[in-house]
């Protein structure tokens, strides 16, 4: 991927965090903390909300963080007045347990196409070691009415 900024809709951490209020993001403690020219970073606490009964980070919580990051990134790569993105597929390999502190995920694009996007999300623990690696495919869809307007040249 090029190091040129990929955002077609201005990406602000404040907007992403505000729109995440009263959603799964906020309920799980997910915070967007950084956006670069071709990546986004978010974090999630490893606490009673995100642990499984065995006392380690729940794999589903890792997937929720990964999907949150890829979905936010994908939504800002398209022109939000004309298109949006929806998840098609996600996978995750859980590599090591996290028991406390925070996990931090970084989403970077692998493919940014006209109708699909593929994102890699690397989730690390406080020690910087890889906890989970995930890949998500997003479908790029037209907003209602946007395709008709484009076809008329407007």
Structure-token match 């090029």, residue found: 2
Count CB atoms within 10 A of the CB of residue 149: 13
**What residues are annotated to the active site?**
67
Which sign, positive or negative, has the C-alpha torsion 146, 135, 91, 46?
Answer: negative
For residues 123 and 131, the answer to whether their CB atoms sit within 8 Å is: yes
Helix (H) or strand (E) holding 74: helix 59-77
Torsion of CA 62, 84, 75, 27, to 10 degrees: -40
Angle at 60 (CA atoms; ends 54, 61), nearest 5 degrees: 85
- Four-residue CA torsion sign, 70, 74, 77, 81: negative
């Amino acid at each position: 991927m090029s190091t040129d900024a990929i955002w077609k809709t201005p990406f602000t951490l404040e907007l992403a965090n505000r729109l995440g209020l009263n959603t799964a993001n906020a309920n799980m403690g997910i915070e967007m903390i950084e956006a670069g020219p071709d990546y986004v970073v978010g974090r999630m606490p490893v606490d009673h909300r995100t642990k499984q009964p065995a006392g380690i980070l729940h794999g589903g919580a890792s997937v929720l963080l990964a999907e949150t990051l890829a979905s936010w990134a994908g939504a800002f790569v398209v022109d939000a007045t004309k298109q949006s993105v929806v998840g098609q597929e996600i996978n995750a390999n859980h590599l090591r347990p996290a028991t406390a502190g925070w996990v931090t995920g970084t989403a970077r694009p692998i493919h940014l196409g006209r109708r699909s996007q593929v994102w890699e999300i690397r989730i690390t623990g406080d020690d910087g070691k890889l906890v989970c690696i995930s890949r998500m495919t997003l479908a790029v869809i037209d907003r209602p009415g946007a395709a008709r307007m484009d076809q008329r040249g407007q």
